[in-house]
Amino acid sequence: MQGKLGKSNKKVLLVTPPYHCGVLEAAGRWLPLGFVYIAGALRKAGFEPVIYDAMTKFHDFEDIAKRIEEERPAVVVTTCYTSTYPAGKRLLEIAKQVSPSIVTVMGGVHSTFMWKEVLEDCQAVDFIVRYEGEVSFPELLLALSGNGDLRKVRGIACRQNGKPVANSLAPYIENLDGLTKAWDLLDWEDYVYFASDNKRLAILDTSRGCPFGCTFCSQQRYWEKSWRARNPEKVIEEIEYLHSQYGVEVFMFSDELPTWSRERWEQLLDLLTERDLGIEILMESRGDDILRDEDIMKKYKRAGVSHIYVGLESVSQKTLDFFKKDIRELALAIFMWVSNRFLKKLLTFSKKILRWLNPRKSLTLSMITRLFPKPLLS
């Protein structure tokens, strides 16, 4: 196994890969929540994390090389989705060019699943941390500093005698509220939501995971269909803190399925309404949960929910079944219902989609209007 850390340099530079997806960047600048968690855990373990969001700053590899030279970190880490892997790989190659003694680490969805391929493909990656990083990563760095046995650190992969090897996996973190976050390490002026007058934006998680098994989705495998949630009181405390401390007015929930427990979700909506902070909430959920909550839609609105991203995937039940989406309702009707009630601007868009998508005339606007005749949120 490769890499060793000296006693004096504790600096860990966390860099987002300079990849640009276009569409989502047209709506705002999104903070790296995973790094906020990892940096919090590193600090607790005695390291000095620095978050450098090169992606959001639109910095290129030259800027990144300069920053690594300036910071002189002992460790450089990055995070990768499949689409961002080439940029993440290049970033770690640059770190090694700046100084071969820098220990490099990659984490995130792509390297979690593809650890073997990544270690074969990129010699500049020393270690991979698989799945959640808050426990495994500090343990890895402590072991590299001589405080622990690398072979016993769960959730890591590396090369041994040139061959990729992986240790056993760490269990999912049970108490999400027990984790420390390093919110102070972000350049808050970078994070804005263009769609709402450039208001300050944060990303927050109220739960992790999803119990469904849609075949195309990486998250069902990332969380092995588990679901863990934070206490709504703790979530609201954090929202209040970010609102007062950093002026955050728009919150995106990173959860796959924040609504899975209706009781908990309703509690959170009530708390948000009670605090009346004048904030806006962007969230994802499943169409069937939104339908389930038809009777409490007004609560969503009062709590500040302005956008719900629903993965429609297909208008054909046959295709939905093929994907194992596990939605029995008329998916398009759900989408229309949500857009009708919340996303007024999207309604026109969806009408256009409907005309385009509906050559078989299996669903019609009049059919949907019959299903959901009364606007709930007017």
DSSP E strand stretches across the chain: 11-15, 48-52, 75-79, 103-107, 127-129, 156-160, 163-166, 192-193, 199-204, 207-209, 227-229, 250-253, 280-285, 305-310
Three-state DSSP at 357 gives helix
Closer by beta carbon to ligand B12, 254 or else 339: 254
289 to 328: interface string for ligand SF4, x by CB under 6 A: ----------------------x-----------------
Considering only 105, 176, 214, 290, the residue that binds ligand SF4 (CB under 6 A) is 214
Phi, psi of 92 (to 5 degrees): -75, -30
Give me the phi and psi of 146, to 5 degrees please: 95, 5
CA dihedral 342, 28, 266, 210 (to 10 degrees): 110
286 near ligand SF4 (CB under 6 A): yes
Nearer to ligand B12, 238 or 363 (CB): 238
Give the DSSP H or E segment for 90: helix 85-98
30 vs 368, beta carbon nearer ligand B12: 30
Least gap, CB of 214 to ligand SF4 (angstroms): 3
Region of residue 353 (left: phi > 0; alpha: psi -120 to 50; beta: else): alpha
Minimum distance between the CB of residue 195 and ligand SF4, rounded to whole angstroms?
Answer: 23
- Inter-residue contact 10 to 46 (CB < 8 Å): yes
Q: How far is the CB of 235 from ligand B12 (least distance, A)?
A: 14
- Among the candidate windows 26-34, 97-105, 211-219, 241-249, which touches ligand SF4 by CB under 6 A? 211-219
Residues forming the site for ligand B12 (CB under 6 A):
16, 19-21, 23-24, 30-34, 37-38, 55, 77, 79, 81-84, 105, 107-110, 129, 132-134, 137, 203, 205, 217-219, 254, 256
Shortest separation between residue 362's beta carbon and ligand B12, angstroms:
27
**Residues whose CB falls within 8 Å of the CB of residue 292, separated by 6 or more in sequence, listed in order:** 259, 262
The answer to whether 219 contacts ligand SF4 (rule: CB under 6 A) is yes
Residues that bind ligand SF4 (CB under 6 A): 210, 212-214, 217, 219-220, 256, 286, 311
